[in-house]
């Protein structure tokens, strides 16, 4: 199976994200290990995603799960049996041509649009693994309408973050 991995999955696996549960850390590390062991990843062909990963990790060290994953990707990004490099065309308003033209996504974070654009442009529309960015909860229904699935790896954590951000009860994490 091909995956798209939001950077926060890597950061959570590396214990670089505050307030996530131990279960979430383990789940993220396992997702990365599963991709390294037997999966595939999709990134953009201009290395925007890979560059973001490198800017937030220490792949040369390779000690933490996210660092090891980025190190693996650096070695395998040109290997078509493990990595799909998806061409993206820039767009002045949406960021990328393949990013859905949908008013419900007008406030989508510009730095995260590359993940959605890769999912939309890839022939298989692989799911986007998401760990702890609660804004994706609001965007997931609109994305699903465009055939883009967000795989929330830590649903309890992300719901807790969303509740806290929106001032709802039940934020005892």
Residue 141, token pair as written in the block: 């229904």
Residues in CB range of 41: below 8 A, 6 or more apart? 2, 3, 4, 5, 35, 73, 82, 83, 84
Does 156 or 168 have the greater pLDDT score? 156
How does pLDDT run across 109-139, given as a tens digit for each residue? 999 999 999 999 999 999 999 999 999 999 9
Is residue 171 a part of any domain in this protein?
no
Report how many domains make up the chain: 1
Is residue 173 a part of any domain in this protein?
no
Q: Are 158 and 152 in contact (CB under 8 A)?
A: yes
Q: Does the pLDDT value for residue 171 go beyond 50?
A: no
Is residue 172 a part of any domain in this protein?
no
CATH for 84: 3.40.50
DSSP classification of residue 78:
T
Q: Does the pLDDT value for residue 173 go beyond 50?
A: no
Q: Does the pLDDT value for residue 169 go beyond 90?
A: no
Give the pLDDT mean for 1-9: 97
Q: In which domain, by residue range, is 131 found?
A: 2-165
């Amino acid at each position: 199976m091909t995956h798209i991995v939001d950077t926060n999955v890597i950061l959570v696996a590396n214990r670089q994200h505050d307030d996530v549960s131990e279960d979430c850390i383990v789940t993220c590390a396992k997702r990365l290990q599963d991709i390294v062991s037997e999966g595939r990843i999709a990134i953009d062909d201009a290395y925007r995603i890979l560059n973001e990963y490198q800017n937030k990790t220490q792949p040369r060290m390779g000690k933490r799960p996210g660092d090891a994953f980025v190190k693996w990707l650096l070695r395998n990004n040109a290997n078509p049996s493990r990595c799909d490099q998806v061409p993206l065309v820039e767009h002045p308003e949406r960021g990328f041509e393949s990013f859905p033209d949908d008013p419900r996504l007008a406030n989508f974070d510009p730095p995260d649009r590359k993940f959605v654009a890769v999912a939309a442009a890839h022939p298989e529309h692989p799911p986007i693994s998401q760990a702890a960015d609660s804004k994706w909860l609001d965007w997931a229904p609109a994305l699903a309408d465009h055939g883009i699935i967000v795989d929330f790896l830590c649903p309890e954590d992300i719901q807790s973050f969303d509740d806290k951000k929106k001032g709802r009860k039940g934020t005892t994490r």
